[in-house]
A and B are shown apart, each in its own frame.
Chain A
Amino acid sequence: MSRVGRNIHVSVDRLRQLAHRDARPRKISADAGTCPKCDSHYSADEMHRNLRVCPACGHHFAVTARERLEQLGEPGGYMELWPELRAADPLQFTDLKPYTERIADAEKSTGLGEAIVCAELEVRHVPAVAAIMDFSYMGGSMGAVVGEKLARACDHAAQKGLPLIVVAASGGARMQEGTLALMQMAKTVIALDALAEARVPVVVVLAHPTTGGVWASFASLGDITYAEPGALIAFSGPRVIEETTREVLPSDFGRAERQLENGQVDAVVDRRELAERIGRVLHILRRPELEGPGAAGSPALQWAQDGAQRAAGAVQSLPRKVMDRIRPGSPDGEDPE
């Protein structure tokens, strides 16, 4: 099916490309460009409108954090939180070039202060706090600023009683901050418990790729966990595994679809349905008693209070319901009311 559709969409381009295949430098750009999977061409505008998903084959391109916020939020936009925080260089770290230079370059090329953007927004009319990682800023790596902003997002959501949405896209802990980057794993996991105490849910979306220390900390602790199609989700990447164990890995190793089979995620969700899906699950989990002034209390207690009358009614009607069920010929599950 998809094969037929794909060929129809791209046949003209494809013929041209096949003719020049070896001579042509492979250009993979998130804006205007070519799909790395099916070789179809798109304009920048088309890409934007289609949420950076290839209309021909469904390949999911990388999305910047700010664009992701626009995709998830209402047209009213979002309110960014703590955009001022910047990375320090505690180790005076230099690999092939100094860390301070890498930070400056990343800020210049992405227009971001760090690899995560936090904001307050509404997803399908449900207010929430979002923490969105951006792979284009140093591979979405987690240093002290990413850890701190995520921890603040947890505190902020808990204080306001709002659910937290995390979109992960990261190669893991930021090497250039050494041991202190490792500590951010502990910081973020601990911060998530503020939400547990406030009894608000966490929805985690795993974008390509979610690996290393990010997958081994907050990204694997969502209450509901979605993955984007084709996203690599792993603690150790395929290259590290192949080098260490000499295993030959299947081509779909660690990919979202396989991780669904492994029981590591709840669903693989197409980006074009993501906002709808998040809005829906947040709506299901929404508790009216927590909204409005002075409202609090355990959900079990609320159920007991709200449902007291209904429960009394149900008990009264039970014998009739049971009778109806066991009487031959009566439709099962008939409403006793």
Chain B
Amino acid sequence: MSEGGGGRFVRKVAEKVRRAPEAVDDDLWESVQLARHAERPYTLDYITRMCSDFEEVHGDRLYGDDHAMVAGFGRFHDRPVAFIGQQKGRDTNERTFRNFGMAGPEGYRKAMRVMEIANRLGIPVVTLIDTPGAFPGASAEERGQGGAISRSIQMMWRLDVPTVAVIIGEGSSGGALGLGVADRVLMLENSTYSVISPEGASAILWRDASKARQAAQAFKPTAANCYRWGVVDAVVPEPDGGAHTDHEQAAEILDQYIYRALTDLGAMPPVERRRARRERFRKLGPLRDPEGGMGMATGRETPPPG
């Protein structure tokens, strides 16, 4: 985290942290576009601003190094924290190099390698999610894309250390969830979290690739809705106009949210943390039980707190 910044900057951030974001249902499409804004801060933009030092690791020790996934250990508020996240690129070369933030099995296995080390050393794990989905390719399938994601989910659930997941941009499909099973799941105000990208849904459900906007309206993948459903625990505010307008401020706000979550989680015994983690995911998804009335009623009616 950056220690500098004038008093005005600090006050502005504090105000942001306190403020409850308004519901963004009005224009879902704008939110979808902001989540994928070309100038939006990416995983490394946050890590380098939040950590005083960061050591990135490479390779899954099985096959190769996946550039769409970044993993390593950082110094966060003078403590070690493992950071893992999908990384997108800003220009054409970088986008290709990062494979548009679509990780393959090596990416998830690299993530698992870092999680295992963190768990062994007692270091909390923070994941930053930003992906249109896991990479759809024949080679990825051959090397076990499905099993890599399921095992990453399994490992995150099994960790004894405190875990925080943050959806910082696009969180689509199992590729996002592979890093999403944490004690606290946070979501940036203008990010999206859904079972599939609007374009993918449009092609599958409307059999027409141009219905992405309509698909987004149907999926309602905004932070406010995810909070209402109980899928995320808090909505992290962004600088006015969106995170892309001020990377420093966006990172500073996120830093405070992560720090607060890790502090709360650190006070819980590991067994209790895992029990709560299990309950958290177990109760997601409403059912109808015609014989016994409503099944589990999940979700919240209140607006997200600041």
Contact = CB atoms under 8 A, between A and B. Distances in A.
A285 interface: no
B14 interface: no
A148 B146 contact: no
B219 A213 contact: no
Given A86-B287, A181-B195, A243 B203 contact: yes
Interface stretch (A37-45, A72-80, A90-98): A90-98
B260 interface: no
Contact of B194 (A179, A218, A220, A253): A179
B136 A144 contact: no
A186 B205 contact: no
Interface string A135-152: 000000001110110010
Given A96-B206, A241-B138, A88 B157 contact: no
Interface in B211-242: 215, 218-221, 225-226, 229, 231
**What band does the interface of chain B fall in when counting residues whose beta carbon is under 8 Å from A?**
35 or more
Contacts of A335: none
Contact of A151 (B177, B225, B282): B282
A86 B290 contact: yes
Contacts of B181: 186, 189-190
B205 A182 contact: no
B195 A241 contact: no
A186 B177 contact: yes
A86 B134 CA distance: 30
Given A236-B140, A245-B136, 6 more contacts: A96-B205, A147-B285, A189-B154, A213-B174, A234-B141, A254-B141
B288 interface: yes
Interface stretch (A16-24, A47-55, A170-178): A170-178
A236 B136 contact: yes
B291 A84 contact: yes
Contacts of A240: 136, 200
A192 B142 CA distance: 24
Choose among A143, A236, A253 the residue with the greatest number of B CB atoms under 10 Å from its CB.
A236
A185 interface: yes
B141 A86 contact: no
A135 to B, nearest CB: 16
Interface in A233-280: 233-236, 240-241, 243-245, 247, 249, 253-254, 262-264
Contacts of B291: 84
13 contacts: A88-B294, A91-B218, A91-B219, A93-B219, A144-B286, A179-B225, A180-B231, A180-B284, A182-B194, A216-B178, A220-B146, A235-B140, A235-B141
B252 to A, nearest CB: 28
B205 A84 contact: no
A178 B220 contact: yes
Contacts of B295: 85, 88, 148
Nearest to B154: A189
Interface residues of A, number: 61
B196 interface: yes
Nearest to A95: B205
Contacts, number: 201
A187 B195 contact: no
B281 interface: yes
B145 A190 contact: no
A254 B180 CA distance: 26
Interface string B124-144: 000000000010111011111
Contacts of B149: 216-217, 235
Contacts of A190: 154, 157, 181, 277-278, 281-282
Choose among B173, B174, B176, B178 the residue with the greatest number of A CB atoms under 10 Å from its CB.
B174
B201 interface: yes
A262 to B, nearest CB: 5
A332 interface: no
B285 A144 contact: yes
Nearest to B149: A216
Nearest to B172: A182
Interface in B269-291: 277-278, 281-282, 284-291
B290 A245 contact: no
B281 A234 contact: no
A226 interface: no
A85 B195 contact: no
B141 A236 contact: yes
Contacts of B284: 144, 180, 183-184, 186-187
A84 to B, nearest CB: 5
A93 B218 CA distance: 6
Contacts of B173: 173, 182, 213
A193 B113 CA distance: 20
A85 B150 contact: no
A84 B157 contact: no
Nearest to B139: A247
Contacts of B143: 262
Nearest to A250: B138
A331 B113 CA distance: 48
A94 B134 CA distance: 26
A233 B220 CA distance: 30
B81 interface: no
A186 B145 contact: no
Across chains A and B, which 3 residue pairs bring their CB atoms closest together, nearest first? Answer: A144-B285, A236-B136, A215-B146
